[in-house]
Amino acid sequence: MKIWQKNIAVDKDIETFTVGRDRELDLQMAAFDVLGSLAHVEMLESIGLLTAGELKAIQVELKHIYADIQAGRFVIEDTVEDVHSQVEWLLTQRIGDAGKKIHSGRSRNDQVLVDLKLYFRSCIEEMVGNTSVLFHQLIQLSNTHKDKLLPGYTHLQIAMPSSFGLWFGAYAESLVDDMEMMLAAYKICNKNPLGSAAGYGSSFPLNRTMTTSLLGFERLNYNVVYAQMGRGKTERVLAQAMSAVAASLAKMAMDVCLFINQNFGFISFPAELTTGSSIMPHKKNPDVFELIRSRCNKIQALPNEIAMMITNLPSGYHRDLQLLKENLFPAMVSLNECLEMTTYMLQHISIKDNILADDKYAYLFSVEVVNELALQGVPFREAYKIVGESIDNGTFAPSTAVNHTHEGSIGNLCNPEIEEMMNDILSQFKFEKTHAAIAKLLA
């Protein structure tokens, strides 16, 4: 059964090719399709396109379908094209002609749009939640290990002293910026396209403000043509936000792979969280972080993949857009898994003490010696030259600077300020408004 089908049988090979992975991927949107329909039919009754009795019958059965979805009993049958057709077919089978009325004033185009936006909104909430957990884990580690020093690097050459407090805190603040981008994506997803129909509106007197409120959207996509044009753009913006989070995770994963290496030896993990070699008994490989690095690098390619799929498409709907789900849906699952696994691994990280006591790190303190001379009145460029010459002739002695550096942590962590920034961003998502609207719709 297809919403658009008349009395012409579709060639089986054409059907297989055009349906693609829709049945599989649409299962992830099934609950949101029901929610969109619940809001739509309540609006239809308010403008006289459904009777009160028809509305009640539809609502009861849609909620039964929703319960089946939540319990894992819902399937999209092979004879049915997609989730929208399956829900409407079930409804019609169970309550008769009233079920055939739910598509009034609605196209599959805006039905897909509202399903996607509701689904993306839910996925963003999960990604934000997982990012928040990782953020607080990083802040806690930063505070715990603020006085444990490690080498800072530029060009992969030892540069200046740093600390694990700064290292953990740097990734925490990186996630703050990433959440700024995710908030922008959420705001775009949180606009209601329902009522735009095929992208050109409807002659029915649809109350789009009502469905916006019922579904907990912040505002409308006002222009019905743009509502349809927003498909592809919404996915791209969301992918860019995901890419930012992925970039932070991939960079951290690379640091971990370096730091756990025996030539560095700065950190370690319990043996049960690493993997071994088939022939080398000494190996404790950071496979988890290598996979996080690679998965997140794949996610960083996602915005460009989506851009290439939508480039030069004119306004209006095009079947090309269907394929966006195949790229984006698995990536959201993967990013959440990477966030959860990174947090889990960091809960078990061990930090080596007294790393900078090793003589090979002596030159890390050359800047401190230059600064001490400058504080004594020596011009900076002259002090730089003096210390450079002592390094060249082998007389450099950093002991005073080392002792000075150990008196306190390197740098100002500013963790309370970073936490305040994150809390401010998280408060702007307003997920509770969404929850309240959906709970009311399902009551």
pLDDT attached to residue 132: 98
What is the Cβ-side half-sphere exposure of residue 379, based on CA atoms within 13 angstroms? 3
The answer to whether position 372 is within a domain reads yes
pLDDT attached to residue 248: 98
271 and 312 within one domain: yes
Range of the domain at 351: 108-144+164-201+222-356+418-442
The answer to whether position 211 is within a domain reads no
pLDDT attached to residue 406: 47
How many contiguous H segments (helices) and E segments (strands) does the chain have? 17, 6
Candidates 243, 201, 275, 231; CA nearest to 114 is 231
The answer to whether position 138 is within a domain reads yes
pLDDT attached to residue 407: 41
434 and 370 within one domain: no
Tokens of 188: 């775009």
Q: What is the 8-class DSSP label of residue 9?
A: P
Q: What is the 8-class DSSP label of residue 275?
A: B
86 and 112 within one domain: no
The answer to whether position 6 is within a domain reads no
309 and 179 within one domain: yes
319 and 332 within one domain: yes
425 and 366 within one domain: no
The answer to whether position 217 is within a domain reads no
364 and 341 within one domain: no
- Yes or no: say if 299 and 330 are a contact pair by the CB < 8 Å rule: no
pLDDT attached to residue 9: 66
Rg of the chain (C-alpha set): 29
* Ranges of the chain whose pLDDT falls below 70: 1-9, 276-278, 399-411
What gap in Å lies between CA 209 and CA 119, rounded to an integer?
Answer: 20
348 and 367 within one domain: no
pLDDT attached to residue 67: 96
Number of domains in the chain: 3
The answer to whether position 207 is within a domain reads no
**Using CA of residue 372, residue 378, residue 384, residue 386, what is the dihedral sign?**
negative
Task: State pLDDT tens for residues 122-178.
Answer: 999 999 999 999 999 999 999 999 999 999 999 999 999 999 999 999 999 999 999
How many residues does the structure list for the chain?
443
Tokens of 284: 């404790």
The answer to whether position 4 is within a domain reads no
340 and 231 within one domain: yes
The answer to whether position 90 is within a domain reads yes
373 and 233 within one domain: no
CATH number at residue 435: 1.20.200.10
